Amino acid sequence: MTQSTSKYAEAGVDIDKGNLFVSRIKDIVADTHRRGVLNDIGGFSGLYAIGNEDVKDPVLIASTDGVGTKLNIAKLCNKHDTIGIDLVAMCVNDVIVSGAKPLLFLDYFSTSKLDLEVATEIVTGIAAGCKLAQCSLIGGETAEMPGLYQSGDYDLAGFVVGIGDRNSIIDGSDIRVGDKIIGLASSGLHSNGYSLVRKVFFDDLGMKVDDYVEEFGCTLGEELLRPTRIYVDSLTNLIRRYPVNGLIHNTGGGFIDNIPRILPTGCDVHLQAGSWPVLPVFAYLEEQGKIASEEMYRTFNMGIGMLAIVGADQVDDILHQLKALGEQPYLIGEVVAAAKDTEGKNVVIHEA
């Protein structure tokens, strides 16, 4: 058949460029593959064998997430090589809190028109995130939709599948009054609250991404693009050595909405503000944006990206272990009996 000008390409979708993109990222993706991956990208689906996992009663545990408005910051900075780490982190951090080991990752990348350089940067970041999370990138979808997105726009979604032992799943049912709460330091904003972040910095304060901010020690864009921390390696090692009664990924909803998701009835949590360092970006947002303290703790991670609820008798050993694993852990609160005539699941933050 004689090839003619593609009407599809004229409509904004270039199949040849899509094929070129797959060939370009093939080695990047293959570099994430661990034992269990049975095929390369390019097929209709990814294959993964779970028979090699040392799990007695296996349960598959899955999660999906995106990066949200942080994508706009990447576009403003024209820097796209770390946003993929955020994508992986938002998914795998949700899986590890169940005590699961991430196995495989899939991504969805949609854009107005495929830019090979930008798309390759994004996948490079996704691959870097998968390596940090010790999971395999086994496939994805790239969609050109010029009628839906403006020029240069793109969106990302990620999907992770992990594996856990049914008898070892962490679901909060072992949490008891008297348990202590350890917080693990975040790298910054991570990937939530960026609609408010954008409003404060760009709409209200009129700042630009290349503005240097003394309090941050870097430009605004550099601060806002700090990748979300991936806690998989540290928590996998911790769970293997110590009993952990609950884990909370401190993302959208902050302390106020996330902690109750795992608390059993009859339990409240008291946190002590000042027991961990609040990063400069949060103090700056609160002051310059005139945001109430209560909203800050419900919107942002405030410097704590992950929380572990553990028995009081294990606290010192667990703090020592987490430090040895490269974390910055802080004892930030405890589980208390719910107030009389209430079901509990409330979070109280005591100001310093």
Q: Is the pLDDT of residue 295 over 60?
A: yes
> How high is the pLDDT of residue 80?
97
CATH number of the domain at 7-168, please?
Answer: 3.30.1330.10
Does residue 345 register a pLDDT over 90?
yes
Cα–Cα dist 106/119, whole Å: 15
Q: What is the mean pLDDT of residues 321-343?
A: 95
Q: How far apart are CA 198 and CA 205, in angstroms?
A: 10
Of the candidate ranges 36-50, 121-135, 137-151, the one whose mean pLDDT is the lowest: 36-50
pLDDT level of residue 2 (50, 70, 90 thresholds): very low
Which pLDDT belongs to residue 127?
A: 97
Q: Point out which residues pair with 61 in neighbouring strands.
A: 162
pLDDT digits (tens, 9 = 90+) for 157-206: 999 999 999 999 999 999 999 999 999 999 999 999 999 999 999 999 99
For residue 328, how far is the Cα from the chain centroid?
Answer: 18
Q: CA separation (Å) from 16 to 8, 9, 116, 123? A: 11, 9, 12, 18
What integer pLDDT is reported at residue 13 of this predicted model? 77
Domain range list for the chain: 7-168, 180-350
3: pLDDT strictly greater than 90: no
d(CA 86, CA 82): 7
Count CA atoms within 13 Å of residue 114 on its CB side: 22
What are the structure tokens assigned to 336, written together?
């208390």
Average of per-residue pLDDT across 286-298: 97
Whole-number pLDDT of residue 158: 98
Ramachandran quadrant class, 193 (left: phi over 0; alpha: psi -120 to 50; beta: rest): left
Residue type, 350: H
pLDDT band, residue 131 (cuts 50/70/90): very high
Tokens of 94: 């949700």
Contact 349/273 with Cβ under 8 angstroms? yes
pLDDT at 316 over 80: yes
Domain 7-168 and domain 180-350 have a common topology? no
- pLDDT of res. 5: 61
Please list the residues that pair with 77 across neighbouring strands: none
Paired tokens of 118: 């930008």
Work out the average pLDDT over 117-122: 96
Phi/psi of residue 249, each to 5°? -80, 115
Confidence of residue 52 (pLDDT cuts 50, 70, 90): confident
Count CB atoms within 10 A of the CB of residue 255: 25
Indicate the CATH number for domain 180-350.
Answer: 3.90.650.10
